[in-house]
Structure 1
Amino acid sequence: MTGTAARPGDRLRIAVVNWQCRENPLAGGAEIHLHEIFGRLASRGHQVTLLCGGWPGCPPRATLDGIDVHRVGTRATFPLLVRKHWHAHFADRHFDVLVEDINKVPVFTPWWQAPPIVALVPHLFGGTAFQELAAPLATAVWLAERPLPVVYRHCAFEAISESTRDDLVSRGVRRDRIRVIFPGIDTGLYTPDLSQRADRPVFAYLGRLKKYKGVDLVLRSFAQCGVPEATLEIAGAGEFRAELEELARTLGVDSRVRFLGRIDETQKCALLRRAWAFVFASPKEGWGITNLEAAASGTPVIASNSPGIRESVRHGETGFLVPHGDVAAMAESMRYLSGERALVERLGIAARRFAEAFTWDNAATETEAHLRQVVGKEEGR
Structure 2
Amino acid sequence: MAGRVRYRASWQQSLPLGLLLGVVVLMQVSNPSLWAQHRSGLSGLPFESRVLAMVPPFLITLELWVLSHYVGVTLTPEGVVVHNLRRRTIPWTGVAEVAVEPVTGGRRVVLYETDGRRTPLRMPSSGFLSRDRRFDDKVATIRSWWLANGGTARVADTAGEFGAWGHARGRLPERLGMRPAPSRSVPTALLLGWLAADAVMAGFAGGPGADHPTLLGRTLGALVALSLLLGAGFLSFGRGVTLTADHLVVQGLRPRTVAWDEIQGIAVEGHRGGRRPVVLEAGGRRTPLPVPRVGRVLWDSEFEARVHTLHHWWRAHAETGTTPAGTALQPSDQTPLLPWRGPRPWQKGVLALACVALGSQILLFVLVGALFLTAGR
**TM value normalised by structure 2:** 0.25
For the pair shown, the structure with the greater C-alpha radius of gyration is 2
- Per the normalisation by structure 1, the TM-score is 0.25
